[in-house]
Amino acid sequence: MVKFIVGEKGTGKTKMMISMANEASKASKGHVVYIDRDKNHMYDLDRSLRFINAGDFQIENLKAFYGFLCGVISQNFDIETIFIDGIKVISDAEEECLKQFVENLENLNKKFEVDFIVSMSRNPNNVPEFLKSYF
């Protein structure tokens, strides 16, 4: 599964993601990963989650972020769900790059059975049409 939570800044996406991640960690038989741009919400997450501060890495585009995700998955084949919150390269991505990134997430999901839940700061009415099926 690949799912996007889309809304403008301040609409509660992060709170929803944290709640979903904490619930997933309780129900999961595998591991749950939460990737954020900084450490602001690290202590809101259940201790059993693997928290990754993507701000510690120089991720400048979606290709680099995809490689980063592949590295995370390659180090732990027990990952069931990856939550991706507030990563600027996703919200700022051009439509074509975003479409390729979503296709890459779909391929990772099929190959490694990892679900992805991604937040995106944009007006839901202004997202590319292909992305609306992932809401």
Q: List pLDDT tens digits, range 110-131.
A: 999 999 999 999 999 999 999 9
Please give the average per-residue pLDDT across 69-82, as a whole number: 97
Query: How many C-beta atoms lie closer than 10 Å to residue 4's C-beta?
Result: 23
User: How high is the pLDDT of residue 41?
Assistant: 93
- Asked whether the predicted pLDDT for residue 87 surpasses 90, the reply is no
Residue 75 CB-density burial (10 A; 0-12 exposed, 13-18 middle, 19+ buried) = exposed
- Asked whether the predicted pLDDT for residue 109 surpasses 80, the reply is yes
Distance (Å, rounded) from C-alpha 33 to C-alpha 25?
A: 9
Distance (Å, rounded) from C-alpha 128 to C-alpha 57?
A: 28
Cβ 61 vs Cβ 100: under 8 Å: no
Q: Name the residue with tokens 């990892």.
A: 114
Distance (Å, rounded) from C-alpha 104 to C-alpha 85?
A: 18
Distance (Å, rounded) from C-alpha 20 to C-alpha 11?
A: 16
Cβ 119 vs Cβ 91: under 8 Å: no
- Asked whether the predicted pLDDT for residue 90 surpasses 90, the reply is no
- Asked whether the predicted pLDDT for residue 104 surpasses 90, the reply is yes
User: How high is the pLDDT of residue 35?
Assistant: 97
Distance from the first to the final alpha carbon of the chain: 11
Q: List pLDDT tens digits, range 12-63.
A: 999 999 999 999 999 999 999 999 999 999 999 999 999 999 999 989 999 9
The confidence band for 88, taking pLDDT boundaries of 50, 70 and 90, is: confident
Ordered domains of the chain (ranges, CATH): 2-128 (3.40.50.300)
One-letter identity of residue 43? Y
User: How high is the pLDDT of residue 91?
Assistant: 74
Q: Which two tokens stand for residue 53?
A: 């501060």
The confidence band for 106, taking pLDDT boundaries of 50, 70 and 90, is: very high
